[in-house]
A and B are shown apart, each in its own frame.
Chain A
Amino acid sequence: MSFLRELGLMAAGLVVLAVLPAVIHDVYLRHLLIMVYVYGVVASSWDLSLGYGGIFNFGHLALFGVGLYAYGMLTKLLGLDPWLALLASGAAAALAAAIMAGPILRLKGIYIVLVSFAFSQLVLQLIISESDYTGGNSGLVRIPALAIPGHNMVRDAKLGYYYIALGLLGASTLCLRLFVRAPIGRSAIALRDNEEYAVSRGISLARQRLITLCMSAVFTGMAGGFYGGYFRNASTDVFGIGLTTLLLSMVLLGGRATIYGALLASFLLTFLAEAIADLGAWRPIIIGVLIILVMLVYPGGLHAALQAGVQRVGTLGRRRTRPLL
């Protein structure tokens, strides 16, 4: 697909999502869509490092947490303007990613999983132990909300937050797609597919990993900041294994190295999780079994399944060419 056509489709998709609130008046449904967008940003950014970069970064949710706490502490303790803090939360997450990149630049495979996991635990422990600033185990509460001048964010049936989240999703998707199409993204893919050859052609492994990780952190951190402004509290729950599992399954269910697959999966999983919310403990069981089943049946994820479906529809009605013999 040419890039212009892709941009056109992206713009069309954004317009459709932008007029959606005109049809959907239910506040709760809008809240769910906001969560879809936030998870979509985080999952698709994760897809950049995991799918395109081939870096098994298991500390991605820690970057989200860094953004969340950066926003909370900057607005609450320093009284920074929430919008500036939202930008700063992206920068803070990128900085954290650069620190995390340090130890894993020369590691491979499962060791990257382990170090990035250890890094996320380290961040969590720091947050818990520095309770004077972060609120420790009880978290930060009454974080200042995002504000639009002349607009009441509380009595607008979540319209304000809906558009901020959508704007974040649009900016993130555009930047991620541009990144993977640019030479810098191409060389990251080259490193993933054939490290020795790429290095021998003069691509710096360390530099590429650093840039890819930082890029995947920027919008993840901003999504964390938005999360803090939206819920107005920050807790260490975001470091839990539950959220990591959910988002990782979005990346893998959607199909790796697609960006759009993660967005699709975040939509489906968020609504599925909500649809069966009153099943209590059965809910994680159903989702867990579903993830395993999809991995068994569609190794390429939903994106590949969808493409196969589209292809099949495209060839409907045409005469099948019979194989020889």
Chain B
Amino acid sequence: MTVLVQILLSALFMGSLYAMMAVGLALVWTTIGVFNFCHGVFMTLGAYVAWQFVSPDAFGLPMAVSLPLSMLVVAAFGFLLQAAVVRPFIGRGDVVLVAVITTLAASSALENGTQLVWGPRPLGLPALIEGNVDFHGIGISLHQVAIIVITPIILGAVWLFLNRMRLGLALRAVAQNEDACHLVGINVTALYALAFGLAAALAALAGVFFGGFKFMSPQMGTEPLSKALVVVIFGGVANISGPIMAAYIIALFEAISTYVIGFYWTPALLFAVLIAVLMVKPEGLFSGRTRGLA
């Protein structure tokens, strides 16, 4: 029983973090049609900018103010970045490949920029809520509980935005048929910027989540990015719920596999399953045949 609860809690917690990262990645992929390798660095930046606002060594603002500020700053940053390294290549035949190399180059530059500004020593963010609770004999920090609760709310809001609001619907329209969007007068360029900014803000939030229970380092975004990649491939991007479901499934798979066959073999098994899924259903487990969103 204790083991079961432990596995479930771990799956919920890690699943929340994966989902938060993967949704932004999927958003950019579907809207702009490029893969954003800067997404991990957005997460890192989110954590560091929040640290800058909240830390008593820096500005010393309360967390409730710092968190939205950090998301705003990183969103603005994401907007600027896509204007510099993605938008100029849109419309070129090899945009997919060129965007891979430019976002990779930008992420390497930004990662080292982070190191220059905040230094290589690990920093820590305060938890969202301090303290621990005892749950069926298992101690879990309130920070983790908060993440498990907040993430579905945020993701639900994103879902509502994409399904019920004009702006969100326009975003999906761009994902489905760009030429038609131009025809009916939707500002496609502005929506590209919006998709990138929104994705960056979500990544920043994930960064604050991470920074609250692990030490931050300039390289902290690399591993979550590769996990989010796996999640997005696994779930497909045709539907915003695809990557979200996939995030929780993969986290559950990891938790079980770590318990049964051990920590070292889990990633290998995960990738083997992923390759198998792609061979059978390359567009992802939860999607139809088209490139779309929500």
Residues of A whose CB lies within 8 Å of any CB of B are 50, 56, 102-103, 106-107, 109-111, 113-115, 117-119, 121-122, 125-126, 128-129, 241-242, 244-245, 248-249, 252, 281-285, 287-289, 291-292, 295-296, 299
Given B29, B84, B222, B233, which contacts A118 in the complex, CB threshold below 8 Å? Answer: B233
Interface contacts (Cβ under 8 Å), in number, total 111
Is B193 interfacial (CB 8 A cutoff)?
no
Task: Tell me the nearest residue of chain B to A128, going by C-beta.
Answer: B264
Give chain B nearest CB distance to A94 CB in angstroms: 19
Chain B interface residue count, CB cutoff 8 Å, equals 40
Is B64 interfacial (CB 8 A cutoff)?
no
How far is B195's CA from A325's CA once the two chains are assembled, in angstroms? 46
Task: Tell me the nearest residue of chain B to A281, going by C-beta.
Answer: B112
Given contacts A111-B233, A289-B105, 17 further A-B contacts (CB under 8 A): A109-B96, A110-B96, A111-B282, A115-B233, A118-B230, A118-B233, A118-B274, A122-B271, A122-B275, A249-B105, A282-B112, A284-B111, A285-B109, A285-B116, A288-B112, A289-B109, A299-B94
Is B88 interfacial (CB 8 A cutoff)?
yes
How far is B97's CA from A16's CA once the two chains are assembled, in angstroms? 35
A289: chain B residues at CB < 8 Å are 105, 109
Task: Tell me the nearest residue of chain B to A119, going by C-beta.
Answer: B275
Given B29, B98, B229, which contacts A295 in the complex, CB threshold below 8 Å? Answer: B98
How far is B265's CA from A281's CA once the two chains are assembled, in angstroms? 34
Q: Provided the pairs A122-B268, A281-B112 are in contact, do residues A252 and B98 lie with their beta carbons within 8 angstroms?
A: yes
A292: chain B residues at CB < 8 Å are 84-85, 102, 105-106
By the criterion CB–CB under 8 Å, are A114 and B222 in contact? no
A129: chain B residues at CB < 8 Å are 264-265, 268
How far is B278's CA from A287's CA once the two chains are assembled, in angstroms? 34
Name the 7 nearest CB pairs between A and B, nearest first.
Answer: A288-B109, A288-B105, A122-B271, A125-B268, A129-B264, A291-B105, A281-B112
How far is B267's CA from A102's CA once the two chains are assembled, in angstroms? 20
Is B89 interfacial (CB 8 A cutoff)?
yes
Q: Provided the pairs A111-B282, A129-B264 are in contact, do residues A121 and B102 lie with their beta carbons within 8 angstroms?
A: no
| Residues 74 to 94 of chain B near chain A (Cβ within 8 Å) | 84-85, 88-89, 92, 94
Task: Tell me the nearest residue of chain B to A291, going by C-beta.
Answer: B105
Q: Provided the pairs A118-B230, A118-B274, A288-B106 are in contact, do residues A249 and B116 lie with their beta carbons within 8 angstroms?
A: no
How far is B114's CA from A285's CA once the two chains are assembled, in angstroms? 10
By the criterion CB–CB under 8 Å, are A249 and B271 in contact? no
